[in-house]
């Protein structure tokens, strides 16, 4: 047995190292916590607790915890995913709004609508399907309804990663009732999504 | 009848054949891991759409690839690629299997305009390269007859040297050498936390690392091809990939390079004597002179 191991030692070493790496990956990826609201606090601060998933790279934390209602008038949501000492951390932000079921309940002149993002933005992304997470469009801000019809007054927001696989990007800017709106489309990244981009493989 | 493992370890077998077989087995495993759901099973984050196989036709937008096959044909190519890779791994009709796996891999890759990653290029080219060598002569289900073991190793050596050479040349530009590229990778979270904090924390350290990588990559072709430095070159190459693997997660490219580098493993001292004798016997056979004992 020993001569056999000695004869094939380099292959065994490379294979063993690869298996070790695989084992580390298997142990290092878990689902994000379902309710991180117990991190408490308000405003903007880093969060991460014992139930947070383990990680080794920032993009592994891109699956943000769901927003929650800190109170009936305050929404708590999470941004800035990062990996700190092998544990995922996010920044907990708050905003004042009538909050219900983890969402801001906004009433506009056009009628009631619910969304975490606020008044601006179009709803129902055209190509959203059930096999990936979706986002609400960001708050649009005020625009001039008399400007060009092509939405020139409403610059497109930067793309965002919905999770580690899906990129959300914005098209068809429009000024509707004095607020900017966009349509959200989704694209599955070939490799992974990080920093609002579909990443390519790095090759040093 | 001895097992393939024992047969390959026999002193009568040219060690080059064993080393080439190591490279074949290692690359075959990586091929199957990277192009099948094993990639997801092992939680590698490089590829998100390997179900049921890499390149499987999906509904919805896929862009305009270089080559467009119908869904059924594209799926068939994926199946052929996987079956051929499995045959290549176990050493069953290695030459045909390796060439088929690589070619089918390219056809499936060209379906996706964003799918042509360096990792896949190396995987498919590596399989085709080893298929053209004596990599299927030992440690194989159906061993093939050796044709030119030393020339086979030289071919792999030249291939690897060319990869390092062009990688080094591509880095001779200001935005790599001053560390800006590494900073962008860092901003995208491509490096492990310890590397960002300890090695890449300042602009100067990033520039130092970037320059060191470029220098090593430019030195490796010389070291791998110069007979007196081959052993050092091999260790340096393994060290480079290990360091990159520990600092970042560059897909499976480093592992693929390591798999191919196995083919260049130096023969042990006792094996080297055997190689000389076999070479002499071969020359005597060819020239018609009597063989020395």
Same domain, A158 and A75: no
In a domain, A44, yes or no: yes
> What are the residue ranges spanned by the domains of chain B?
14-147, 149-267
Q: A-side interface with B, Cβ within 8 Å?
A: 3-4, 7-8, 10-11, 14-15, 18, 21-22, 25-26, 28-29, 56-60, 82-86, 127, 164-165, 187-192, 194-195, 197-204
**pLDDT-based confidence at A101, cuts 50/70/90?**
low
A30 and A87 assigned to the same domain? yes
One domain for residues A155 and A179: yes
Domain boundary among the residues A89, A116, A143 is at: A116
Is the whole-model pTM more than 0.80? no
Statement to judge: residues A156 and A123 lie in one domain? yes
pLDDT at position A98: 66
> B289 phi and psi, to 5 degrees?
-75, 155
Cross-chain residue pair A8–B22, CB shorter than 8 Å: yes
Q: Which residue in chain A has the smallest CA separation from B47?
A: A191
Q: Which band of pLDDT confidence, cut at 50, 70 and 90, is reported for residue A114?
A: very low
- Looking at the domain assignment, is residue A11 inside a domain? no
**pLDDT the model gives residue A160:** 85
Domain that holds residue A82: 25-116
* Dihedral sign of CA atoms A67, A71, A72, A74 in order: negative
Predicted local distance difference test score (pLDDT) of residue A150: 54
Domain membership of residue A150 (yes or no) is yes
Question: How much is the ipTM here?
Answer: 0.81
Q: What pLDDT is attached to residue B139?
A: 94
Residue finishing a domain among A75, A90, A116: A116
The verdict on a CB contact (< 8 Å) between B117 and A201 is yes
Per-residue pLDDT tens for B177-218?
A: 999 999 888 877 778 877 877 888 889 999 999 999 999 999
For residues A91 and A163, membership in a common domain is answered with no
Q: Are residues A132 and A101 in the same domain?
A: no
pLDDT 10s digits, A144-169: 766 555 555 788 888 888 877 788 88
Q: Examine residue A16 and state whether it is found in any structural domain, yes or no.
A: no
What mean pLDDT do residues A87-108 have?
A: 69
Last residue of a domain, one of A95, A116, A137: A116
Distance from CA of B31 to the nearest CA of A (A): 13
Rounded Cα gap, residues B247 and B218, in angstroms: 21
In tens, the pLDDT along A10-37 reads 999 999 998 888 777 666 543 333 333 3
Q: Is residue A191 part of a domain?
A: yes
Flag whether pLDDT at B137 surpasses 90: yes
Does the beta-carbon distance from A201 to B44 stay under 8 Å? Answer: no
| Same domain flag for A62 and A124 | no
Statement to judge: residues A163 and A178 lie in one domain: yes
Domain contains A18: no
- Would you tell me which residues 256-275 of chain B have a C-beta closer than 8 angstroms to some C-beta of chain A? 258-259, 262, 265
B40-76 pLDDT per residue, tens: 777 776 655 677 888 888 765 555 667 788 889 999 9
Across residues B86-91, what is the average pLDDT? 97
* Shortest Cα–Cα distance, A36 to chain B (Å): 23
Residue A139 pLDDT: 75
What total of structural domains would you count in chain A?
A: 2
Are A50 and A67 contained in the same domain?
yes
**Does one domain contain both A31 and A78?**
yes
Confidence of residue A191 (pLDDT cuts 50, 70, 90): low
Q: Do B25 and A194 touch (CB under 8 A)?
A: no
CB contact under 8 A, B46 and A3: no
Look at residue B101 and tell me whether its pLDDT is greater than 70: yes
């Amino acid at each position: 047995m020993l001569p056999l191991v000695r004869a094939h030692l380099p292959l065994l070493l490379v294979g063993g190292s690869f298996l070790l790496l695989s084992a580390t990956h298997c142990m290092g990826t878990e689902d994000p916590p379902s309710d991180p609201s117990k991190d408490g606090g308000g405003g903007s601060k880093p969060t991460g607790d014992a139930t947070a998933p383990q990680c080794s790279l920032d993009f592994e934390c891109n699956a943000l915890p769901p927003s929650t209602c800190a109170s009936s008038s305050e929404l708590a949501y999470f941004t800035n995913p990062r990996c700190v000492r092998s544990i995922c951390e996010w920044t907990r932000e708050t905003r004042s709004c009538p909050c219900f079921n983890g969402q801001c309940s906004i009433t506009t002149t056009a009628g009631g609508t619910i969304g975490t993002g606020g008044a601006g933005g179009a709803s129902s992304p055209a190509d959203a399907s059930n096999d990936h997470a979706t986002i609400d469009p960001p708050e649009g801000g005020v625009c001039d309804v008399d400007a060009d019809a092509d939405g020139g007054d409403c610059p497109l927001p930067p793309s965002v990663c919905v999770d580690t696989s899906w990129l959300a990007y914005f098209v068809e800017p429009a000024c509707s009732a004095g607020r900017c709106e966009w349509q959200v489309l989704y694209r599955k990244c070939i490799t992974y999504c990080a920093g609002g981009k579909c990443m390519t493989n790095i090759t040093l | 009848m001895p097992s393939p493992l024992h047969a390959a370890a026999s002193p009568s077998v040219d060690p080059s054949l064993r080393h080439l077989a190591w490279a074949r087995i290692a690359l075959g495993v990586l091929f199957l891991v990277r192009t099948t759901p094993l990639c997801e099973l092992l939680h590698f984050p490089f590829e998100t759409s390997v179900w049921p196989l890499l390149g499987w036709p999906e509904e919805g937008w896929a862009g305009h690839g270089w080559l467009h096959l119908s869904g059924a044909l594209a799926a068939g190519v994926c199946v052929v690629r996987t079956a051929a890779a499995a045959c290549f791994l176990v050493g069953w009709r290695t030459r045909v299997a390796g060439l088929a796996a690589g070619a089918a891999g390219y056809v499936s890759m060209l379906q996706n305009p964003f799918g042509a990653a360096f990792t896949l290029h190396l995987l498919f080219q590596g399989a085709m390269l080893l298929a053209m060598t004596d990599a299927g002569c030992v440690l194989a289900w159906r061993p093939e007859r050796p044709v030119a073991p030393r020339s086979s190793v030289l071919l792999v050596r030249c291939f690897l040297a060319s990869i390092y050479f062009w990688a080094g040349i591509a880095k001779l530009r200001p935005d790599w050498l001053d560390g800006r590229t590494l900073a962008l990778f860092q901003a995208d979270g491509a490096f492990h936390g310890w590397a960002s904090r300890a090695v890449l924390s300042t602009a100067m350290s990033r520039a130092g690392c970037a320059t060191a990588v470029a220098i090593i990559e430019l030195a490796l072709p010389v070291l791998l091809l110069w007979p007196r430095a081959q052993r050092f070159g091999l260790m340096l190459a393994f060290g480079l990939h290990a360091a990159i693997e520990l600092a970042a997660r560059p897909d499976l490219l480093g592992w693929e390079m390591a798999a191919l580098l196995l083919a260049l493993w130096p023969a042990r001292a006792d094996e080297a004597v055997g190689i000389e004798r076999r070479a002499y016997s071969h020359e005597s056979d060819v020239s018609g002179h009597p063989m020395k004992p």
